[in-house]
Amino acid sequence: MDSAVSVVVPAVKVTALSKTFGCCKALDDVSIDIRPGEMVALIGASGSGKSTLLRHIAGLARGDGDRGSIEVDGRPMQTLGRLAQGVRKNRSGIGFVFQQFNLVGRLPVFTNVLTGSLARMPLWRSLSGFFPRAERELAIEALERVGILDKAWVRASALSGGQQQRAAIARTLVQKARIILADEPIASLDPESSRRVMEILARINAEDGTTVVVSLHQVDFATRYCPRAIALKTGAVVYDGPSAQLTPDLLRNLYGSQAEELTAARSTAMSSAAFITDPDVLSAAIAVH
């Protein structure tokens, strides 16, 4: 078993990565290995370095220069604080889902989703906006999969938060990303939208074998959707194992008083259902809990 695993090229391999912002270490000697097809939760209180780590893996930020490297799918993303050559090409294999969705508000959802194909496009096509038929079909398919096909020609800014996040996931589908990095994808969403977004991510993971790394600060979502969890505290990995073993006791051991921030999400998610006024959403929310 062990020898079989070691032959597989890891989907994400972070080695001895540190990141210092001014005085403080945002990442402290982080090393992790994620196998292809895994669905991993990255948990930790706010400020523990989850977002920083994901942004480094995607090549959107650079680590400290003295040591540390990141490989994705066996290709180097950065070494010793320098982005590898061809990092843009490698980025196209990584779908990034942001907490604030990062869609272009004035463009229709369809165009936003199509931008997932930019990296494959010759420059004249991407600058003129003449996307080939196959790409447009792929975008339609992706929108259908995340359930917002009827919003294709609506401006992205007119969508609800949950719908925008689903559009952002559709963009990663058009990218044909083999890895999806989701940075707090549900932190700005209501409980029902959160559940849908997590379910879509889990389905993409199960159906396409896409590796998914999702940072969360609600442990109950992590245990429900992700078999494996990696816990960070002040930039260092303090737990890496099955998410089912993240009991409240263990969390208290790991985080002390901060543990409340991670488990409190459960109770706020429950109580927020009481403030939903839209009857459809309300019944859906009740069905969840």
Partner 1 sequence: MHDKAALLRAARPPFSLGKALCYGLGFAILAWSWRGAEINPLTLVQDSGNMVRFASDFFPPNFKDWRLYADEMLVTIQIAVWGTALAVLCAVPFGLLSAENIAPAWIRQPVRRLMDALRAINEMLFAMLFVVAVGLGPFAGVLALWIHTTGVLAKLFSEAVETIDPRPVEGIRSTGANAMEEIVYGVIPQVLPLWISYSLYRFESNVRSATVVGMVGAGGIGIVLWEIIRGFYFAETCAVMIIVIASVTVLDVASAHLRKLFI
Q: What is the DSSP letter of 276?
A: -
CB atoms within 10 A of CB 250: 15
What is the side-by-side order of every strand in the sheet holding 69-72? 24-34, 12-21, 69-72, 75-79, 82-83
Pick the closer one to partner 1 by CB: 116 or 191.
116
Q: How far is the CB of 264 from partner 1 (least distance, A)?
A: 27
Pick the closer one to partner 1 by CB: 142 or 262.
142
Residues 6+ apart with CB under 8 A from 186: 165, 193, 194, 197, 198, 216, 218, 221
Residues 173-212 that bind partner 1 (CB under 8 A): 175
Whether 31 contacts 219, CB under 8 Å: no
User: Which residue in 10, 83, 96, 139 binds partner 1 (CB under 8 A)?
Assistant: 96
Q: Which CB contacts under 8 angstroms, 24+ apart, belong to 280-284?
A: 281/190, 281/192, 284/192
Number of amino acids touching partner 1 (CB under 8 A): 32
Beta bridge partners of 76: 71
User: Which residue in 10, 76, 95, 191 binds partner 1 (CB under 8 A)?
Assistant: 95
Kindly state whether residue 60 participates in binding partner 1, applying the rule CB under 8 A: yes
Kindly state whether residue 154 participates in binding partner 1, applying the rule CB under 8 A: no
Pick the closer one to partner 1 by CB: 173 or 186.
173
Binding mask 117-136 for partner 1 (x = CB under 8 A): -xx-x-x--xx---------
**Secondary structure of the chain: what % helix, strand, coil (to 5)?**
45, 25, 30
CA dihedral 145, 148, 151, 153 (to 10 degrees): -20
Kindly state whether residue 100 participates in binding partner 1, applying the rule CB under 8 A: yes
Q: How far is the CB of 159 from partner 1 (least distance, A)?
A: 14
Kindly state whether residue 74 participates in binding partner 1, applying the rule CB under 8 A: no
User: Which positions touch partner 1 (CB under 8 A)?
Assistant: 58, 60, 88-96, 98, 100-107, 111, 115-116, 118-119, 121, 123, 126-127, 168, 171, 175
